[in-house]
Amino acid sequence: MNPVLFGSASQSLFGLYMPPKAKRARPCGVVLCYPMGQEYMRAHRAFRQLGQLLQKAGFHVLRFDYYGTGDSAGDAEAGGLAQWTADIATAIEELRDTAEVPRVSLVGLRLGALLAARAAARRDDVECVVLWDPVTDGAAYLEELFESKVGARGGVQADLADRTATIGVMGFPITPALRHELEGARLVDVPAPAGGNRLVIASQERPEYAAAGTHRPAGAGPVQFELVPSEGSWTEVDDYGGALIPQRLIHRIVEYLADETRP
């Protein structure tokens, strides 16, 4: 595991390059795209495991922190969807250069799925995009964050009607700019990658996941939907830093990406 800083000097991104640990290295990399906020904290362990399994399957892997998150440069208030989408593009270039691979796949969880889809749009070097429990509608996602956390630990700490206020949700800020961006972000509006495959994989039965699994943008490759039921919620907060690691689902993602018979 090689920790690296990449991107521009003023907006350096922290990443972990994980080289293949198989006899045969695949000519394809995988960029892992985290969710945001407390969901990022809760998913870190699962991403480590996913990365290790992909290494063993022969992939070059890069998992990284978006600008203003994790170990990357920038304050927590500095990030936003446009920035993070651009960061994924930067990470794709970084992995292609480091591993000398012509193509990459993207795996994104929650908001990371929406960002991955946006980053893959109109690119011709993306083989697959895996959308894991995807946020499909930014406005609905905000509602979910705001409503479920009122009065709970890490609950909303600002007047939601005040659109100039930064709102703390589960310990992380949602700035007015990020809120505005989220309200206009929908998966159905994202153009497809040229010829890329898409897997929507869900840990729970939710209508938006199923809808995403049947939505095939014009010019897109095959779209596949799978439900792999798993316990736990990404939006919970506990005192122990508990981590969700949906094992069967993680293994299924690796199996899907490693399937060389896939159309």
Partner 1 sequence: MRERPVQFGTSTTLIGMLTEPGAAGSGRPGVLMLNSGILHRVGSCRLHVRLARALAAAGYTSLRFDYSGIGDSEPRRDTLPFEASAVAETREAMDYLAARKGLDRFVLLGLCSGADMAHETAVADARVRALVLLDAWAYRNLGYYWRHYAPRLLRPAVWANYGRVRLQRLARRRVAAGTPVGGDGVEYEMPKYVREFPPRERIANDLRLFMSRGMQLFLLWTGGLWVYNHRGQYAATFRRELVAGNVREEYLPDADHILTGLDHQAWVTREVVSWLETLPHGAAGTAAGRGPPAGSAPSPSRGPA
Check binding of 69 to partner 1 (CB under 8 A).
yes
Distances (CA, A) of 194 to 56, 125, 170, 220: 28, 8, 37, 6
The binding track of 95-114 with respect to partner 1, each residue x by CB under 8 A or -, is --------------------
Q: Which residues contact 151 (CB under 8 A, 6 or more apart)?
A: none
Q: Does residue 204 belong to the site contacting partner 1 (CB under 8 A)?
A: no
Contact pick of 25, 73, 160, 227 for partner 1 (by CB under 8 A): 73
Using the rule CB under 8 A, which residue among 170, 182, 187, 220 binds partner 1?
A: 170
Which residues contact residue 136 at a Cβ distance below 8 angstroms, ignoring those fewer than 6 apart?
114, 186, 187, 188, 208, 209, 211, 212
Smallest distance from partner 1 to CB 105, Å: 22
Find, among 188, 198, 191, the residue nearest to 218 by Cα. Answer: 191
Nearer to partner 1 (CB atom), residue 59 or residue 64: 64
Of the candidate residues 11, 25, 48, 208, the single one contacting partner 1 (CB under 8 A) = 48
Q: Is the dihedral of CA 22, 110, 228, 198 positive or negative?
A: negative
Structure token digits, residue 158: 């600002």
Q: What does the binding site for partner 1 look like in residue numbers (CB under 8 A)?
A: 1, 3-5, 12, 14, 16, 38, 41, 44-45, 48, 69-71, 73, 75-76, 153-154, 157, 166, 168, 170-173, 230-232, 237, 239-247
